[in-house]
Structure 1
């Protein structure tokens, strides 16, 4: 890695307040806690009312489920379902799972409502700026390179087709490249929640990366609480505390995943309209929604839009949104009326 680079990634935007100390050790009253790795990040499952003798079997089942999701959604795996679709240069509909169809359908809907700010076809630009499977750039991309990559993007070129025999995905632009990293963590979190319900477990906190979902109460019989971190990569400090009340939450931030090049901080959040990393003062967008997948989709679009448009969209769509903006003397925050219902007074 070049000396003029600083790269910070794979860190959650949340602090789990389920009885664990700073060293991530679980005291006896914290319930059953399991952890692992998936999708280039970490997963965590905290359970109440589940005995330790189930841990080994549950851990194995969880990892198998997430490994399966990774094989379907990961652009970092050349043999994944989405990678095969990206490598395909034809226009014939390609069969995909119902899960894949649901993820892309929701992404297209949110993309439309954000005027294209949330764009799962932005992969060529993500790769160009060094945040995808391709090598990171050693110099700033030229405008010509950006224009070439932008020409390979566009939600209007991607279609989900539902047939009696199953779901299909179609593109009318041969080089279209779908990147589901903006919604993969949310989907996997929801998938974990469905697994817990299938196993008869109804009190849990599940998370993959920056997406979290809860049900029921923790091992102390109290609501699961999640703390939104202050927008810094140097400390674990609480910005706000929320009780999810059975909902999902996800945060998109420009302060966790970046590098420095030629004296400039390059954010992983790419604006599809310009083909460049965002440069506005909105540094964090948190969304609470019925599912973690939906929250994960909205937060990226809001981050791209910036403060003014994000506020207007949150109010228009009645979204539960919490924004953090950088100011000269620190940070300022804003929350929608719907978000206030989840805030825990500290």
Structure 2
């Protein structure tokens, strides 16, 4: 069995502006860059101004705080407490967890369950991205599917407590917590005077303002057929988040078949359609994080039309045969750099 863990889904490129600015008399533009492994992925923050060291340290402290409350990769989290009391009683949660659960349930409802934060039992059964990855039996899958239903998550906002109504249920915020952490890290950086920075939490990218040269940041979009951070195209962004979900992120192979981590709550198996990845460009990372899963589920048949109904959202769709579709807002801001991929103009 061959296993691959998550790689960074977006590649960040800095235009060679440092020498240009030094030539103009600008000083202290050397960025401070720090990389950590958190939230089950590689996290990188690059800061160009403000109180750099304090800003980065504070941002990572905030990410670690979020991880300790709601990561599925750690024990003793608030999510563990909710699972332990499933079918029994409410559990008090922090403001952070309450907020993310509210967002998660909202997007679960919006997707009619295609994205469902109560998918925890199924995720643990497959174990994709862990040493225990396996292809479960149909009987095992059916047992876990019966425990998945976002409607069975009760949120008592007034008293800051939540409950899962059936024993054996559990939450998995892997499809949304990383986006929240990216938003929060960005907020912390700005509070520390940062005006030019990139936050990259394993493919959830947030660009603060423009780059130090006063131009948009150039972002390389992950090649979904390569796990090494290879890119197939670039876009330019200012004050935007760029979030990718794809089959490259976490997967394992068994008997010549690849099983990726984006699970279908209705079938119990990895989502199986023509898509290899979906990238969203919008303003808020937590929203983009959740929406990519629903759009991935809709596939090329319904995904592009659905994105057109979303305000302030653009998308890049990559199919398994390396055809690429982009929404109208990116048509003057998208360049394919790998000739194996072909841009298809579909309506």
Q: Which TM-score tier does this pair reach, normalised by the shorter chain?
A: 0.7 to 0.9
Displacement after TM superposition at 1:220 (Å): 2.9
> Kindly tell me: are residues 184 and 176 of structure 1, through their superposed partners in 2, closer, same or farther at Cα, counting changes over 3 Å?
same
Q: Deviations over 1:99-130 (max 9, x none)?
A: 22221222222222222111111111111112
Q: Give 5+ residue unaligned stretches, structure 1.
A: 21-27
Quick check: 1:205–1:212 contact (8 Å CA) kept in 2? yes
Distance in 2 (alpha carbons) for counterparts of 1:212 and 1:244: 11
Please say if 1:283 is aligned against 2:276. Answer: yes
Q: Distance in 1 between matches of 2:239 and 2:333?
A: 11
- Residue 157 of structure 2 is matched in structure 1 by 162
* 1:1-346 pair list within 5 angstroms: 5-19=1-15, 31-50=31-50, 54-55=52-53, 57-131=54-128, 135-137=132-134, 140-163=135-158, 166-233=159-226, 236-318=229-311, 319-327=313-321, 331-340=322-331, 343=334
Of stretches 126-135 and 169-178 in structure 1, the one that deviates more from structure 2 is: 126-135
- Residue 226 and residue 286 in structure 1: after superposition, are their counterparts in 2 closer, same or farther (change >3 A)? same
In structure 2, list runs of 5 or more residues that go unmatched.
17-27, 338-347
User: 1:25 is matched with which residue?
Assistant: none
- The change in CA–CA distance for 1:171 and 1:339 in structure 2 (over 3 A counts) is farther
CA distance in structure 2 between the partners assigned to 1:134 and 1:153 by the alignment: 24
Task: Give the Cα separation in 1 of the matches to 2:262 and 2:336.
Answer: 31
> Aligned residue pairs: how many?
325
TM-score, normalised via structure 2 length? 0.86
172 and 90 in structure 1: CA distance in 2 versus 1, 3 angstrom threshold? closer
CA contact (8 A) 1:73 1:81 kept: yes
TM-score, normalising length: structure 1: 0.86
Following the alignment from structure 1 to structure 2, what is the Cα–Cα distance between the partners of residues 267 and 314?
A: 23
Tell me the distance in 2 between the aligned counterparts of 1:83 and 1:238. Answer: 36
Deviation of the 1:132 alpha carbon: 6.8
Q: 1:113 to 1:90 in 2, by over 3 A?
A: closer
